[in-house]
Structures are given as structure tokens and as C-alpha cells.
Amino acid sequence: MMKQVWRGLAVSGAAVVVLWASAGLAEAAGFDLITASEAQQAAQAEKTMKPPVRTRSLPKPDAPAITVVSPAAPTKPVAAPLRIEVAFQPAAGAKIVPSSFRVLYGLLKIDLTDRLRQHATVTESGVVVDGAKVPDGQHRMFIQVADDKGNTGEQELRFRVGGGS
């Protein structure tokens, strides 16, 4: 009787280990940050929409600074799933409000914030997300964050996935 109990526990334990390992593999496989359809829409918009007139302006001195840590080189292609890491720096006397963090995709400004937040760590110092699946091609995101004084900073992130494009 005791052998059967131990054997049952061993089998149950093995099943738990297999389920735990499977869950880890699913997480490691990543998540769809940008769908193929969204990438196609953004690429079409880049081709057909008249781009807004670009003017250079100095960043607002009180706006939070946003620094893209990874992907670091917009001219070199990266592999998906990718790691996105961004650092925030508030102005003196201000604090970043993590709940104000937003990510918009392409000229159409498709809001990816909720999708990314499910897999990211967002703090006052920045954002880290691993396993973001993105289709091959050229991509542009706009990262926004505000501070407790109501100042908003924005940083464009451009990157290319895969060898083409």
C-alpha cells in the first residue's frame, strides 16, 4: 500500500515538473507584440500617407528623457523574438509615473501598450520586455511616458527585423 502511495506521488510530481517546464517553454517562446496584419498596415501607411512636415525642436527641458537601450542599432537587423529595454530619466524634482507609459506603432499610431504591459516590467526607471515577436521588416514605435508634474516625453524607436527590408 505504501509503495503505491509513493509511486502515485512520484508520478504526480513528474507531471507537475512537466507542466512547469512546459509553461516555461511557452513563456520563452515569446508573445506577438506586432501582428503581420499590423505590420502590413503600417508599411502601407508609410508608402501612401504624406508624411508630416518634420521640424527640429529642442526637447522640453522639463520633459522626461527616454533612452532606448535595446535594440541598440537601428541600421542593423535584429532577430525576433527580441528584447526591448528603455530607460526613463525624469527632470530634477519630478518622478516618472509608470502608469502613463504608452507604446504606439507606426504612422497609424496603433496602441500596443496593453499587449506589451502583459509581458513587460514597467517601473519609474524604465521598461524591459523579452520575447517580443515581430514580423520581418522595418518597424517604428513611439514610446511615451509622463512625470508627476504633467510633462510628457516621447522617443521614436526604429528597428529592422530579419535580413530583408
Q: What is the mean pLDDT of the chain?
A: 81
What is the model's pLDDT at position 46?
83
12 and 71 housed in the same domain: no
Taking the whole predicted model, whether its pTM rises above 0.95 is answered as no
Query: Confidence class of residue 45 from pLDDT cuts 50, 70 and 90?
Result: confident
Least confident of 16-20, 27-31, 74-78: 16-20
Bigger pLDDT: 41 or 94? Answer: 94
26 and 70 housed in the same domain: no
66 and 17 housed in the same domain: no
Residue 88 belongs to domain spanning: 33-161
Residue 64, phi then psi, degrees to nearest 5: -65, 140
What is the model's pLDDT at position 58?
56
- CATH number for the domain harbouring residue 74: 2.60.40.1220
Please give the order of strands across the beta sheet that includes 137-147. 110-111, 96-105, 137-147, 152-161
- Lookup result for grid cell 507584440: 33
pLDDT at residue 8 greater than cutoff 90:
no
Q: For the segment 60-114, what is each residue's pLDDT rounded down to a tens digit? A: 778 999 999 999 877 789 999 999 999 999 999 999 999 999 999 998 999 999 9
14 and 66 housed in the same domain: no
67 and 21 housed in the same domain: no
Residue 148, phi then psi, degrees to nearest 5: -75, -5
Based on the structure, what is the number of domains in the chain? 2
61 and 42 housed in the same domain: yes
